[in-house]
Structure 1
Amino acid sequence: MTGSPFMALPGAVAADGIDAGVAGHYGNPIVEQRHLERGAAIVDLSNRGVVTVTGPDRLSWLHSMASQALDRLAPGEGTEALFLDASGRIEHAAHVIDDGVTAWLIVEGDEAAPLSAFLDRMRFMLRVEVADAGADVAVLGAMSTTALDAATPAFAPAGIALDWVDPWAQPRPGGHQYAHDAGHPASEWHWIERIVPRAVLADAAAAVRAGRVEAAGALAAEALRVAAWRPRLASEVDERTIPHELDWLRSAVDLGKGCYKGQETVAKVLNLGRPPRRLVLLHLDGSDTVLPVPGDEVVGEKVRPEPEAGDEPERRVVGHITTAVMHHELGPVALAVVKRAVPARLPLIVLSHGIDVAAAQVEIVPADSGAAVEVPRLPRLGVHKR
């Protein structure tokens, strides 16, 4: 793939890390957040991957492997699906839209080849064809179709617009939400990803130059994502992550379907156990103007019940930062994955750049999240009630 035309826009500064290949910002990421939030800006996501699956068996085949019910996905309906290993750990995540002919899977850029290879190995005798379409199509993001339309018309090769509307805004039927409903910020997240021919990226960039629409960088999109508590494969997922830990059952898992790899763990943790770790939002002390980076340790201070003079609080590593951003209203905030047993009111500190950054925790997956099924207590063997 060649470089994005958006990188030639005035003020464009390249992103690094997981968003390398597109602009991190165009000079003022805070203003760009506001433009994006009110539906007046687009985001270049041309570094994302797109995998296509064609053939009459495509949806039933994907349904058999994914965490989401896909066998009756209506043309134009957007959903998301996870592909898990046998232990229920997340291996792939895809934003899925079907146009009646092709299932289009939007993934992280470095996930297109591994996911294509995985799917290709699972074809057997079914009537499906898998392809990595990243050389031909690209992705633009926005919080409104108005902004996207100002940049380029919807792409509809089979008569259905390829606009993936993020289901995170509302819990999906068949899903499960650990977070409390009161005050959940997902209702403000109106994210849309439009698949377009890669050749029209230049037209979209020209629309920005002409003033028909604003451009916002990856930093702006990430800030709004964090504020919405929305997990992302490239940042919140590691080799141990199960969907429950990120509250991803609310949008990417249909608990009414079975017979997919990892389904036993999904059901067991939900019905009988608790997530071993949990996602939290951290409000960070910004007095040192230090913004943590992914992987920075989160520690908790445990004070002894009867401390003696000179005793230092005992520190223990309880988690790590996954994404940290500067939000235009919330200030410095971060998503972090911490141990399940970390008390909700425990003062936390982020160790970043050699500085202790105080952090206040907002529960996403609550510490007291319990089993969804009440397990009856059985009498102990040898004990007889009279």
Structure 2
Amino acid sequence: MKSPLLTLPGAVPAEGVDEGVAAHYGDLFREQRALADGTGFVDLSHRGVVAVSGEDRLSWLHLLLTQHVSDLPPGQATEALVLSANGHIEHALYLVDDGTTTWAHVEPGTQGALIAYLESMKFFYRVEVEDRTESHAVVYLPAGSIAGIADDVVVRETAYGRDLFLPRERLEEFAAAAGPAAGLLAYEALRVEQHRPRVGFETDHRTIPHELGWIGGAVHLQKGCYRGQETVARVQNLGKPPRRLVFLHLDGSEVHLPAPGTELRVAEAPGEPEGRKIGFITTSVRHHELGPVALALVKRSVALDAVLLAGSTAAAQEVVVAP
């Protein structure tokens, strides 16, 4: 869905999966600094919105999701995954319950597939699943923001900020009061700094939760009865994930950022053959303080002190998921 906020001064449209909102409004680093200081907002109105209502909604979702939500208190934010039968990540849901309805936002364009799966699992449960993407827009407020929020707006508050499920017809009115607007590139730079994975970016067809550090945050280990649980339990108790998420500091002298999918190879490490292919870039950004940085997936066995090459760009790694 194309956001009306693309008419704001300086708005440059995002591309690819994030098409429909602004990538930036003319000054990427100023927008990042504003968010880091707790001011401004980010238009995430292209994201899918799913609402689940009905008496059995939480107990039913508890059976389908990786998170423990059967007794989720109203207003408490959480996140959860939908896995394949083999334990691979299919969807990430960013959830909050308002006392009568459980709200979730998901990756742009994926709400249809998610709803189809949920509908196929309703059976005799008293639940209703609705696509609210056309009626509600997601807006992000950074931590520390003092922007006013109407009482009837559903708020999902985390340590990183607040996600608002805002009636779409109020989006322009809210933007006029909550400015300055920050684009998606600023939001993504802070996401990378915070080591937060994103489905479709840090995941591929075989990604499992352990590789991205989603155990605990989105996967509860003391619950069962969800699709893909066997893989989670087996890796947790008996095995080790084949890959791990890392944070990379990239050589700042390079003009271009290595694109997602760029192969990572070993440049220098004791006992490692130079040039060995060990992973790939998942997201790369320019950060207002850290410079060019990235998230990447690498083989679990890669030495922690290995110097890497992303294409021709040198990269030093920080541990996100311990090997």
TM over 0.5: yes
**Aligned-partner residue type, residue 332 of structure 1:** P
Task: Give the TM-score taking structure 1 as reference length.
Answer: 0.80
Q: Considering only aligned residues, what root-mean-square deviation do their CA atoms show, in Å?
A: 1.6
**Any idea what SS the aligned residue of 1:366 has?**
coil
Matching residue of 1:136: 135
Matching residue of 1:364: 320
1:60-79 matches, cutoff 5 A: 60-79=59-78
Q: 2:230 aligns with which of 254, 261, 264?
A: 264
Gaps of 5+ in 1: 170-189, 306-312, 368-386
Moved more, 286-295 or 57-66: 286-295
Given that 2:138 and 2:166 are in contact with CA atoms closer than 8 Å, whether structure 1 keeps it comes out as yes
CA distance in 2, matches of 1:145, 1:56: 35
Given that 1:41 and 1:147 are in contact with CA atoms closer than 8 Å, whether structure 2 keeps it comes out as no
CA distance in 2, matches of 1:66, 1:250: 13
**Aligned-partner residue type, residue 198 of structure 2:** R
Structure 1 residues 304 and 241, CA gap change in structure 2 (3 angstroms): closer
Q: 1:199 aligns with which of 163, 169, 184?
A: 169
CA distance in 2, matches of 1:135, 1:293: 32
Structure 1 residues 38 and 304, CA gap change in structure 2 (3 angstroms): closer
1:1-386 matches, cutoff 5 A: 1=1, 3-144=2-143, 146-149=145-148, 153-154=149-150, 156=152, 161-166=153-158, 169=159, 190-207=160-177, 213-301=179-267, 314-351=274-311, 356-367=312-323
Given that 2:40 and 2:145 are in contact with CA atoms closer than 8 Å, whether structure 1 keeps it comes out as no
Task: Give the TM-score taking structure 2 as reference length.
Answer: 0.96
Cα offset for 1:26? 0.5
CA distance in 2, matches of 1:131, 1:262: 24
**Any idea what SS the aligned residue of 2:63 has?**
helix
Matching residue of 1:178: none
CA distance in 2, matches of 1:79, 1:115: 18
Given that 2:283 and 2:296 are in contact with CA atoms closer than 8 Å, whether structure 1 keeps it comes out as yes
Cα offset for 1:304? 9.2
Given that 2:269 and 2:307 are in contact with CA atoms closer than 8 Å, whether structure 1 keeps it comes out as no
**Aligned-partner residue type, residue 29 of structure 1:** L
Deviations 1:269-314 (A, max 9, x none): 1122111100001100021222111111111136797xxxxxxx74
Q: Work out the number of aligned pairs and report it.
A: 322
**Aligned-partner residue type, residue 364 of structure 1:** V
**Aligned-partner residue type, residue 223 of structure 1:** A
Deviations 1:172-226 (A, max 9, x none): xxxxxxxxxxxxxxxxxx222100100001112323xxxx521100000000010
Deviations 1:224-271 (A, max 9, x none): 010011111131111111111000113101111111111121111112
CA distance in 2, matches of 1:319, 1:24: 27
Matching residue of 1:174: none
Structure 1 residues 267 and 303, CA gap change in structure 2 (3 angstroms): closer
Given that 1:87 and 1:262 are in contact with CA atoms closer than 8 Å, whether structure 2 keeps it comes out as yes
CA distance in 2, matches of 1:304, 1:31: 41
Cα offset for 1:42? 0.1
**Aligned-partner residue type, residue 262 of structure 1:** G
Given that 2:268 and 2:308 are in contact with CA atoms closer than 8 Å, whether structure 1 keeps it comes out as no
**Any idea what SS the aligned residue of 1:315 has?**
coil
Gaps of 5+ in 2: none
**Any idea what SS the aligned residue of 2:110 has?**
helix
